[in-house]
Structures are given as structure tokens and as C-alpha cells.
Chains A and B, each alone.
Chain A
Amino acid sequence: MFDVMFAALGALVTNPQTMGLMLIAVLIGLIVGATPGIGGRLSIALAIPFVFGMDMTQGAVFLLTMHAVNGTSGQISSIMFGVPGDGDDAATTIDGYPMAKKGEAGRALGASITASGVGGIIGAIVFAVMIPVLEPIVLAFSPAEFFLLAILGITFIAFLAGGDNIFKGMIVGLFGLMLATIGMDPQTGTARFAGDYLFLWDGVSLVTCVLALFAVPEMITLAVKGGSIAAISMDGVKFSYKQIFEGVMEVPRHWFLALRTSIIGALIGMVPGLGGSAAAWLCYGHAVQTSKHPERFGHGAVEGVIAPETASNAKEGGSLLPTLFFGIPGSSGMAVMMGAFLILGIQPGPAMITKHLDLVWTLIWALVVGNLIAVTFLLFITRWVAVLTFINATMLVPFIVVLVVIGAYVNEGQWENLLILLAMSIVGYAMLRANWPRAPFVIGLVLGRIAEESLHKALDLWGLSFFTRPISLVLIGMIVATIAYAIYRSRKPNVLANMQVSA
């Protein structure tokens, strides 16, 4: 076992051609990830012609590295401009952008980039450890568990809003759940609240909503206020590698949180059916829930950056597991990856362990090495990137608005989404002005659909008795405990006092 493990690492790092390909893959992956609206799936689909004729190992390493580092750069625009690249990055925006406004873009980026890297590497370790027990764990999660996991995630809304905002949080969360019902009814196949507008049949576009709710309101505020994103002058900040390094050190300081969210992320990635954005949001909720000072979240808490970033990179290692060993891809990105594996002559299935163990280890190492390269590279250039937050609004805002519009269009290629962008931006700006929390909306939208679909399936399969499945009972216990804890905490007087100070 160990000889294969280290032989694979040796073969990977000593082959200059493979390492060269990895460097190129990291660069492409980072660029694609940094561009809002373009997902990793598209980049793999477009790269497939190039891997024809590549050697099996090199081709697989190339594609996997490209895919794995995608999430590492998506956070840059979320933190700096409040423009999330996709649903995962939106969770990073909630605390990352306030940090940038405080002039701490460097610290936020340092923390989030390191967190991504740590998440990616822990994800790879979870991958390696899980191989022997993969089957029972993956197969233990059925629609019943998905439903309860989604509900658990929805209960986190209580913490995201915090204190006396709890009712505002619930209203916003319900608004998200309400919009999640737009589209094809999964049970009857009739269009709900969509009429003849075909673009609504698959539901309201998540990316568009996220851009409208987070990016546009911040840009309007910035344009109205003038000045730059960072509310303090550049002279006031020692803008240097020192600040970035402080950010890097935040990750070891919160090592236990980073470890937990990485593992949760990897497990969610491993169990197909919950979807990628759920990982980042569940972990964000987890960070708020377990924090001693939940009221700091949304105002620039560094834990709010670390949790979703570790989760979204860790899930890549996890999601590779069912793809490689069952031949059943867990996400649309992995479905494309599996197509590419077939081209390269890799036949995913249980035989991978017996026949291609060396390749499996090479892929695990590729995840580790690829993440390391990406982190090093990004940390190095961050110093110059972060300066952008000090640029005057008049120069910055038009650029970012263009980026937002392109992002909303490109994701599904439908111009109607621009109307949604406009309408939701108005809602988002109103919420920002009235100081209502916006994160619960995204949680409602992301988890609402999962909850509805899995509830239908679970009821069809087992009727109400699905609530008594063993894992269901554990999850129900967690949901009850979460709600009880939320009520207890909102009644605790000192927290309430803190709330009022920070608000």
C-alpha cells in the first residue's frame, strides 16, 4: 500500500512533462474560476479535445487539477467586489466583502486562499481514508436523509440572522423557499408560476439571484457613496505581504473549524445528490452556529470566509470517489470528468482499486500538489490584486457591473435572466438599505429545491415511516437541538446586547 502511495507521488513530481501540464492546468483552472458565470464544467468540456492522445495518467491529472483549483480563485471577486462567481462563492461574499470594506482585503484573501488549499488537501486525505468504507457510507444516504439534511441546513437560517433579526431572517429565508418553488413541479410535471416562460421551467437561476442580491446592491452603495471599496485610505493600511500573512495565519488559528468544515465538505461531495452549493452553505451555517460570537458574522468575521472555502475545495476530493469507484458521477462537473476518463481509457468502477491503484494515488497526489501550486501562486499575486479595492468607485463600478451582467447571461445563455437580475437587484438593494440579512435567501433557494424533491421521493418510497430510519432519527435530533439552541441563545441577554452594539 505505502510503496504504491509514495511511488505515485515520486512519479508525479519527478516527471517534468506532467508537472508542466499541471502548471498549465492550474493556471487555466484559476482563470476560469475567477471569471463569474463560467463554471468548471464548461472548462472540462472544452478541454476534452486537448486530452485526446495524451497519456492516461497525464490527461487525468491535467483535467482533475484544472477542476480542483477552480474554486480557489472564485473567491477573489467575491471578497474584493462582492461579486460571487457562483453559488458556492456567495457564502464567502457575506463576510469577505465586509472585510474588504474595512481595508482588510489582503487578510481576507490570505485566509480564504489558504483555507481553499487546506480544504483541498484535507479533501484528498478524506478521499484516501474513505476508499475502504466508501460503499456503506455513500449507500446509507437516500432521499430521506437528503430531505432532513436540507431541513437542517434551513434551520441554520436562525443563526445567520442572529438575535432580534431572527424574524427578518425567517422572512427572507421563506422568500428564498418561495422562489425555489418556481419551475417544473418535480412530482406532476406541470410548470409552477412559470407559465409559458420556458426559461423559468428549470427554476430561477441561482447565479443570477446571487449576483443581484450581493453584487449589485454593493455596487450601487459604492457608486452613491463614492470613494473606494476599502473605507479607509491606503496610507492607513500597511498593505503588504504582512497583511496577507496575517490572513494565512488565521487558518491555523481556527484549525479545528477548518478541519471540521473540510471533512463536512468532503463528505457532502462524496454523497451524490446534495449538490455543490449546499456544501459551502451548510459549512457557513455550521461556523455561525458553533461560534461564540455569531453576531460578528456578516460584518467581516474571518471564520465566515474560512468555512465555505475549505468546504468547497474539499468537496472536489469527495465527489471524485463515487465517480471513480462506482462509475456514478455525483455532480454534473464529475459527469463531464467521467466522460473524459473514458476517452483516456480509464474505466471507472470497483476494479479501479485492483487494477489502477497507482492511478488512484496519482490523482490523490494531483489534488494535493495542484492545490499547493494554486495557493502559492495566488498568495504571491494577491498583494497586487488587493490594491484594486482602493481604486475610486467611478472607475471600478462600471467594470464590475459589466462583469455582473455577463455573468448573469453567460451562465445559462438566456437574456431573460437579465430581467431577473434587474428585479432582484432592486429587492437586494432594498434589503441592504433596510439592513435585512440576505444570506437566508440563498439558503432557502438552494436547499428548498433539494428538500422538496427528496421529500416527494422519500414519501413515495417509504411513506411517513422514512422518519424512523436510523440516520433520519439522528438528523431529526440535530434539527431539534439546533432550533432549541437558537431559541436559547436569542433569549440570552448579553448576546442581545452585543447585537445592538454591532448593529
Chain B
Amino acid sequence: MKNMLKLIGASIAALSVVPASAQDGAAFFKDKTVTYIVATSPGGGYDSYGRLVAEYMQRNLPGSTFVVKNMPGAGHIIGANAIYASKADGLTIGSFNTGLIYNQIVGAQGVKFDLSKMSWIGKAASDPRVLVIASQSPIKSFADLLAQKTPVNFATAGPGSASYVETVILTNTLKLPVKNLTGYNGTDDQLAMRRGEIVGSIASRSSYTTFIENGYGRYIAQIGGNDKDVPQLSSLVKDQKALDLIALVQSQGDIARLTAGPPAIPADRMKVLVDAYKHAMENKELQARAEKLERPVEPAYGEDVAKAISKALNQSDETKQLLAEALKSDKK
């Protein structure tokens, strides 16, 4: 009976969809309030990008009001769940850590979203990963690191976080002589590297810009990005399995600071949202402001992001296996 009703409902809905144009979509947002969910507390990268995106999207959707709502907790899962479960009317969108891809692949606890079904509006940046070594360490290159006889200490955030997953899968498959220490949240790792108790870390390049400029450390390898000051990790590795995992990590970095809505937002409204996002990203003022925050803009939009996400989710069984194993073998 329930299915029957659904069917009838669906047919009515199908019939009532007169070819909708973008004009209808744009008219819809007039006098409406759009909630932009940021899956972290105020302050920090996700919040900065979220507020910029919301402010400039509002300018490109006449008559609309964008409200930023911070929904922190459980490593972005609370925010992502909230966006996924919101009504698909285009009035709730938001941003969360791309690293949730890992949580979905391994079927982690608490995940109530399916990234492959979400409505992808765009991404604002690329955030390549770097291998950083504290300046007082004698390790000057990736080869030096591999040549270490006794494991050196690397710091990661809590288990289950994206930083942890990436550090563990890379160190395990590359067989790096590294001991991973967990619980270094925020900038704890940088301070620990200054103290010398931690030798290195695998982190996003943007979070280490100031650290490196101050001469506290050096990059020895990078994953993704166009920077020429440091070799790409993929050029230093031969093993195919490792290369697959490096590619997975790179795909994460390529689609950073994303904006998405719940599944099945009507196509006309999606088009309007993606256009507004695009105009926001192309705005010179936004670019200048992001530049000052040391958060460069490197956008991609709609379908392109959706494709990149489903590509990242669609890993070979072998990679999935590696991912699960890497995570399991490090659990105590």
C-alpha cells in the first residue's frame, strides 16, 4: 500500500514537472532563506570558506538571504548527516571535510550519508598533502626518511580522522620507518615538532604554510598540487599498490572545501545554485579576500565535482582491502 502511494505520488510529481527553466529556479530563491551548514565550530578553514561562499552566493541570488549555521562534532559527521537529511528544496546546503569519503568507504560508525547521491554544487580549493619534517631533524629528503634505521615519530589527529587515515595508509603501504602517535589535534603537531618530540607529519599544505615560512620545518614530498618546490611523492615510489593509494589521497586534496546539498534537489534550482556558486568563485573580491587568508581559490563546479567524488568512492576491492587492513593493523 505504501509503495502504491509512493508510485502514485511519483507519477503525479512526474506529470507536474513541466520543463522547468532556470528562470523559475532563480525566482524560487527570492525572499527565501538559505541555510549554509558548516560542519565545524566558528573559526578555522571550513568556517572561513563557508562564510565567504555564503556571502558571495547571496549576492548572486537576488532577494535571498544566506545564513551560516555551525554544526560541529564527531569529525564533521554531524554536519554531513544534517545536510544529507535536510529537505531537498535547495534551501539547505553546506560544507564538510572531503575526508568523509574514507569513512564511507570503510563503512565507519555514525555515517548516515551517501556521498555518491548528494547534490554537488562545487569545490573552492585544492589542498595538496605534504610530508613535513621538523627543521632540527637530519632528514632532508624522502630517501633520508626511508633510510632511517629506527622508526621516527609522526603525529596525527585522533584515530578515524582524515589526517589519521591518510597517515596510516601511506606509512603502512610505503613501509615508512615511522611510528604514528595520535591525538595531536589542531596545531598540536606543529608545537610538538618545535619541541622535537615529533619528527614529522603528513598534513595539508595550507596548514603548514606559516610554519615553513618561519623556518621550523621542510617539505620532503607532496601529493597533488602544482608547487615546484618539492618533489611529488608519486615520482619517488614504484610500487603500484602504493601509487593507487597516493592517487586516492590526491583525489581528496583536489576536491577540498566543497559545497553540497542533500540528494535530489530539483534540477532547475541546482542549476541556479551552481551558477551562483560559480559567479561567487569568479568574483575578484572573493579571490582577493581568500588570497589574504592564505586560502587560494581553485574552483570546480557541479558535475565535475560529482564525478570526482564518485571516482574517489569507487575504489578497486584491492584498494578497499588495503584501506581496511591499514586501518586494522594499526588498531591496538
Contacts and interface: CB of A to CB of B under 8 A. Distances in A.
Interface of A: 41-42, 44-46, 48-49, 52, 138-139, 142-143, 184, 186-191, 196, 198-199, 201-202, 272-273, 322, 326-329, 332-333, 335-336, 339, 342-343, 345, 347-351, 412-414, 453, 456-457, 460-461
Contact of A196 (B43, B69, B109, B213): B109
A42 B197 CA distance: 33
A59 B43 CA distance: 17
B301 interface: no
Interface of B: 41-44, 47-48, 51, 55, 69-75, 77-78, 81, 109-110, 153, 158-161, 164, 179, 181-184, 186-188, 190-192, 194-195, 197, 210-211, 213-214, 216, 289, 292-294, 331-332
A52 to B, nearest CB: 7
A327 B69 CA distance: 28
B159 A188 contact: yes
A29 B12 CA distance: 55
B187 A335 contact: yes
B187 A272 contact: yes
A46 B182 CA distance: 32
Contacts of A348: 210
Contacts of B289: 52, 343
Contacts of B292: 342-343, 345
A460 B154 CA distance: 11
Nearest to A272: B191
A328 B110 contact: no
Contacts of A339: 43-44, 48, 293
Contacts of A138: 191
A198 B110 contact: yes
A336 B42 contact: yes
Contact of B73 (A190, A198, A342): A198
B332 A188 contact: yes
Given A187-B332, A347-B213, A342 B183 contact: no
B159 A41 contact: no
A393 B109 CA distance: 47
A199 B109 CA distance: 13
Contacts of A335: 43-44, 186-187
Given A45-B42, A326-B190, A414-B73, 19 more contacts: A48-B48, A48-B51, A49-B55, A52-B289, A184-B74, A187-B159, A198-B77, A201-B74, A202-B73, A272-B188, A272-B191, A327-B213, A327-B214, A332-B41, A349-B213, A412-B72, A414-B71, A456-B183, A457-B181
A42 B42 contact: yes
B78 A332 contact: no
B310 to A, nearest CB: 25
Contacts of A42: 42-43
B210 A202 contact: no
